[in-house]
Amino acid sequence: MKRCTLLLIFLLFAAPSYGVSLSELQKSAIANRHIIAQYQAGLDKSRSDVTMARSHFLPSVDISYTINRLDDDNLFEEEENGVSYGAVTWNLFSGFYDYYNIRSARLLERAQFHRLQGIKQDVQLNVALRYLDIFKLQSQREVAQESQATLQKLFEDSRNRYDVGLVEKNELLRFKVDLDNATITVKKVEAEFAKGVQRLAFETEQHIAPADLEFTEFAQLPLLDEPEEYQRMMLANRSEIKTLDETNKAVGLQIKAARASYGPRLDVTGSYRRYENNYFPDDNTYDEELRGTAMLSLNLFDGFAKQAGISKAKSEKRNVAAQLGELQRGLETELSNLFLDYGVSLDTVAVSRTNILQAEENLRITRLKYQEGLEQESDLLDAISNLSLVKYIHVAARMEVFANYFRIIRSVEQF
């Protein structure tokens, strides 16, 4: 039994631990972020508005019981009496006002649904950018640590050479200054890395262990289709466009509903009334009445409220239509600019790769010449600094490619 227990414990600790991918982080953010709950509550509210609009197509049922106290009996009422009342009222026609209202409410519900989808896309984009930022800082930390290690080795070599009198003290101090600066740079990048992890934890509403992050998504540069295809997808899929489109249709129906309020209204009512000769019902003395009523009504004047309602709805429709046109133009321009940035960043990555090879070769040659006394320590430090610089540029260019890629994916809502 003890052997089995030990074997089980060993297997549990030996089991591979799987890292966290970008898609898993995005799912966590969708499940946990309060802003998602906020927009979900807005969608639930719009669904309640649909239910309220539909309620006008159903009958209304009312019951009541009234007790009366008179100073004395009279010909029609006892001193103490009560009245039981029940009625069913149903609106049969209201000039299609309710019909247009319910259609408008359904469109506004769909608009709220698209708003929720749009905020989900925004949350996923923010998670992707935070995730990318951590990978960028991790890459920058590796570059900084590599530069620090190189300077540390050169400083130690110079100190050994200084001890035997091969170099001057000022040369040793130059290496020490650059080494101290490299150490500070490493600490700064490590601090930014820790802050990046906290920002990602905020976006996902969960604890993030840096060691669990896979970063497999950044193994290869992403490739995109032609910009025209993405522009077509954006205009077809973008939640903001769908939201304004549904809102525009809803406002159009509200105009029709406002006009319908000029029409007549037909209500029918079936009621039951029972008169008691005391406060509480009994079976001895009472009178009862069953009544059916049909009422056709038409409002002739309401202080111009209906006219103002129509004008307000028309103004809102023009406002929404203008917003929709402005939004489409803005999104098309933004997508076009993203593709320009994406192309430039790809070119920068290609150039920086070549620059790294050249800088590495330059450092190798400069180091050999320095050891032979053909180069000064400033030349060697410049070569080290130049290599770090081109590596930083390469990291930044790669990250810019992925950042533009994520923003383009968000533009067409493909997260």
pLDDT of residue 284: 65
Residue 80: strand, helix, or coil:
strand
Whether residue 183 contacts residue 172, with contact meaning beta carbons closer than 8 Å, is answered with no
The amino acid that residue 394 corresponds to is: H
Long-range interactions of 316-320: CB distance < 8 A, separation 24+: 316/251, 316/254, 317/248, 317/251, 317/252, 317/255, 320/244, 320/247, 320/248, 320/251
Q: Report the run of H or E that residue 212 belongs to, with start and end.
A: none
C-alpha–C-alpha distance, residues 123 and 20, integer Å:
17
pLDDT of residue 208: 84
pLDDT of residue 158: 79
The amino acid that residue 222 corresponds to is: P
SS3 string, 122-159, reads HHHHHHHHHHHHHHHHHHHHHHHHHHHHHHHHHHHHHH
Residue 208: strand, helix, or coil:
coil
C-alpha–C-alpha distance, residues 256 and 263, integer Å:
11
Give how far Cα 233 sits from Cα of 226, 237, 289, Å: 11, 6, 67
Whether residue 61 contacts residue 88, with contact meaning beta carbons closer than 8 Å, is answered with yes
Provide the sign of the torsion angle of the four alpha carbons 122, 125, 129, 135, taken in this order.
positive
pLDDT of residue 413: 87
C-alpha–C-alpha distance, residues 32 and 43, integer Å:
17
pLDDT of residue 54: 86
Q: Average pLDDT of each block of 10 consecutive residues along the chain (415 residues)?
A: 39 46 88 89 90 87 90 78 90 82 89 91 92 91 89 83 76 83 91 91 86 85 89 90 91 87 88 83 76 88 85 90 92 93 92 92 87 78 88 92 94 88
- Cα-to-chain-centroid distance, residue 49: 24
The 10 Å Cβ neighbour count of residue 203 is 24
Whether residue 222 contacts residue 401, with contact meaning beta carbons closer than 8 Å, is answered with yes
Give how far Cα 375 sits from Cα of 43, 265, 344, 381, 389, Å: 71, 99, 37, 11, 21
Q: Convert the pLDDT of each residue in 363-380 to its tens digit.
A: 899 888 877 777 777 788
First to last CA, the chain: 50
Judged by phi (left if over 0) then psi (alpha if -120 to 50, else beta), residue 17 lies in: beta
Which residues are CB-contacts of 26 (< 8 A; sequence separation ≥ 6)?
Answer: 123, 124, 127, 128, 415
pLDDT of residue 344: 93
The amino acid that residue 369 corresponds to is: K
Whether residue 95 contacts residue 7, with contact meaning beta carbons closer than 8 Å, is answered with no
Whether residue 335 contacts residue 408, with contact meaning beta carbons closer than 8 Å, is answered with yes
pLDDT of residue 15: 37
Instruction: Give the burial class of 84: count Cβ atoms within 10 A of its Cβ; 0-12 exposed, 13-18 middle, 19 or more buried.
Output: middle
Whether residue 143 contacts residue 388, with contact meaning beta carbons closer than 8 Å, is answered with yes
Global pTM value: 0.78
C-alpha–C-alpha distance, residues 408 and 342, integer Å:
9
Nearest to 404 by CA among 355, 353, 347: 347
pLDDT of residue 268: 92
C-alpha–C-alpha distance, residues 118 and 46, integer Å:
17
